[in-house]
Chains A and B, each alone.
Chain A
Amino acid sequence: MSAVVSREAVVNTLLALLLLAVPIAASAAGEPFYVTLATRIAVLALAAVGLNIALGLGGLVSFGHAAFFGLGGYAAGILATHAFNAEPLFFGLPGTTSMPVIWLVAILVCGLVALPIGAISLRTTGVYFIMITLAFAQMIYYFAVSWPAYGGEDGLSIYVRNAFPGVNTAQPLPYFLLCYGVLMLVLLLFWLIGGSRFGTALQAARQNPVRLAAVGIAPFRIRLVAFVLSAMVTGLAGALFADLNRFVSPSMLSWHMSGELIVLIILGGKGRLFGPLAGAMLYVLFEYALGGITERWQFFLGLILLGVVLFARGGLLGLLAGKARHG
């Protein structure tokens, strides 16, 4: 058993080093495009790590996490726009271009929105839960499309990437390193949560909610907290994504985005620490490699995804590191 675990640890370390080394080398070689590609991987992986708290640990198939990804993005866009135009936001509060403040706002907003959505959705299970989370995300999507103050359908540009103390975020490599640092920190938190009392209860809620209730722990509250935490992390990723593209639009809120986040986790390996990162690497590389060959890359992505679901259920990490084990 320990041999299997350490094999996964080796694979994880290699993936983490690979993601770090490629942009550094690319930057040194004067190829900033690859740095941006790596940043995209890191940020999408972060969003999927968030979803993985609910989906991987808790077995909650949220088909609406784009809502939080987009809300995080809009938090960045809206705060930056108000700061840029020197217009107060509301109650006389100013906008800001400070990333730490933006991140905090994104996390808080997503937590506050996830609380009622989770409280209603978690009254249901199975297919109902999937469809309800989808429907709530659509509600926010349509609101963003029809509310013209922040660009409506056209989205909102961030003219200058927001600032982080001591980091030149306008340069691709420092911004990548910032995102990479956040990703690694959140992966550490995910690992700690998975092994904690809360994580034990959450995983038990996935495996057997009746057992959890029979020992005196109400699954609902455990799941709700997990859903909210999960939304907060995905929201943080949304803020980083908006700053990466210097643009936020309703497409971040769309159900395709929700689907993609699930796809990242499954491509990498469900319920595994580095599954989201492995999945994001594969996904972005597919997108880049297939997109270079054919305009119709989504067609082939669909075929590949179908193949993974039907025939390779462990995902990439399942192939590289064997079957997942739990303590």
Chain B
Amino acid sequence: MAEPVLEIRDLRKSFGALKATDGVSLDLMPGEIHALIGPNGAGKSTLIHQISGSIPPDSGTIRFLGRDMAGLDMAARAKLGLGRSFQISSLAPEFSALRNVMLAVQARQGSSFRFFRPVKGDRSLAGPALAMLERVGLAARANTPAAELSHGERRQLEIAIALALGPKAFLLDEPMAGMGPEGSKSLTKFLDGLRRQAPILLVEHDMDAVFALADRISVLVYGRIVATGTVDEIRNDPEVRRAYLGEAA
């Protein structure tokens, strides 16, 4: 059996009396989309923050490509190939869509300590960046400042940035949020193809998308994973129905 790309073991994080992450273990296997679902306040965001490196866990390990992530900050983890999108769009608002993606291309290529050569007209940056914008269908808006993009376009730009990093795994935090039915449909199709490039840990509220995409689903409730399995197993799991789907239905 293949090694997991991302391996989380017995992760714990408390805020005062609140156990936000309570002994979570989770694997992301090569080529899979692993969806993480759970009711609001289940601790999904806290978990994502710990994986991406913006919150340190109290205990437990996170291994990525076999390497322990303890002590590495967000930038170091991103550099190793952990590509992340954000629940709320997180872009450089004054930069154009293209320059936002060029920043990611630049980061992937290595040194940002080049002081004089203009990035404008640097084909080694603009070329790949434009290609990513084309892939997500945003090429026509390349020169528009990110602040002036629509909500859906910003989500697309987030994905383009994550793609440009050429990551070994994607960490997508509610990519469908606020997309509308049409946007969700096309993004679902897009993510379906993306798993061939790198496995995806997908946090998502849109159950249609989750059931369409996920190879496996883990259900997080009150900081614990109460079930992990295929779409059918999760649909029919009585505990999940009670704890989670029951509420939604």
Contacts and interface: CB of A to CB of B under 8 A. Distances in A.
Nearest to A191: B118
Contacts of B227: none
Residues of A contacting B: mostly: helix
Contacts of B108: 215-216
B120 A195 contact: yes
Interface stretch (B19-27, B90-98, B190-198): B90-98
Kindly state the interface size class of chain B when it binds its partner.
35 or more
A256 interface: no
Contact of B74 (A197, A204, A207, A214): A214
B75 to A, nearest CB: 4
B111 interface: yes
B75 A213 contact: yes
Contact of A211 (B90, B113, B143): B90
A165 B186 CA distance: 68
Interface string A213-224: 111111100100
Given A198-B112, A214-B52, A192 B93 contact: no
A211 B92 contact: yes
A326 interface: yes
A89 to B, nearest CB: 31
Kindly state the interface size class of chain A when it binds its partner.
20 to 34
A216 B165 contact: yes
A110 B99 CA distance: 33
Contacts of B14: none
Contacts of A192: 115-116, 118
A127 B7 CA distance: 39
A197 B114 contact: yes
Contacts of B119: 195-197, 199-200
A203 B94 contact: yes
B45 interface: no
B240 interface: no
A218 B145 CA distance: 23
A108 interface: no
B90 A216 contact: no
Nearest to A225: B113
Interface in A211-255: 211-219, 222, 225
Interface stretch (B61-69, B78-86, B132-140, B231-239): B78-86
A214 B99 contact: no
A317 B237 CA distance: 65
Contacts of A1: 143
B90 A208 contact: yes
Contact of A214 (B78, B102, B112, B116): B78
Interface of A: 1, 189, 192-193, 195-201, 203-204, 207-208, 210-219, 222, 225, 326-327
The 4 closest A-B pairs by CB, nearest first: A216-B78, A216-B79, A218-B75, A213-B74
21 contacts: A196-B119, A197-B111, A197-B117, A199-B119, A200-B106, A211-B91, A211-B92, A211-B100, A212-B75, A213-B54, A213-B73, A213-B75, A213-B78, A214-B52, A214-B86, A215-B107, A215-B108, A216-B79, A216-B107, A217-B103, A225-B113
